[in-house]
Amino acid sequence: MTNYLCRCEDITLERVEQVIAEGKSTVNDVKRHTRVGMGRCQGAYCISEVRRLLEEDEHDPMTMRPPVRQIRLDTLAATVPPSDDD
Ligand code: FES
């Protein structure tokens, strides 16, 4: 049975342990090499486990970025209120 550490990105515990054994020593290093924490939940379920494996302080910040997904232009345009010129 596969033991997924990050369910959003299908990253296994073994893959994260391998990256740490290769010398990656911060959450951001592990994230860059595996995509752990970059899924839909943005690390809500997996980053604490990575921190535990690294024995890293919980207050060290991870670089956060908003999730990227495609959006239709008409959907985006609908969010802009009409101006007086329209
Ligand atoms: S479980 Fe890792 S990003 Fe969601």
**Which residue in this structure is represented by tokens 């379920």?**
45
Domain range list for the chain: 4-58+66-78
pLDDT of 65 higher than 80: no
Confidence of residue 79 (pLDDT cuts 50, 70, 90): confident
Atom of ligand 1 nearest to the CA of 8: 4
- Could you say which architecture CATH assigns to the domain 4-58+66-78? Orthogonal Bundle (1.10)
Atom of ligand 1 nearest to the CA of 7: 1
Residue 16 burial (CB < 10 Å; 0-12/13-18/19+)?
buried
Atom 1 of ligand 1, residue of closest alpha carbon: 6
- Around ligand 1, the residues with Cβ closer than 6 Å are 6-9, 36-37, 39-43, 45-46
What is d(CA 12, CA 80) in angstroms, rounded to the nearest whole number? 42
What pLDDT was estimated at residue 67? Answer: 66
What pLDDT was estimated at residue 36? Answer: 95
pTM value?
Answer: 0.70
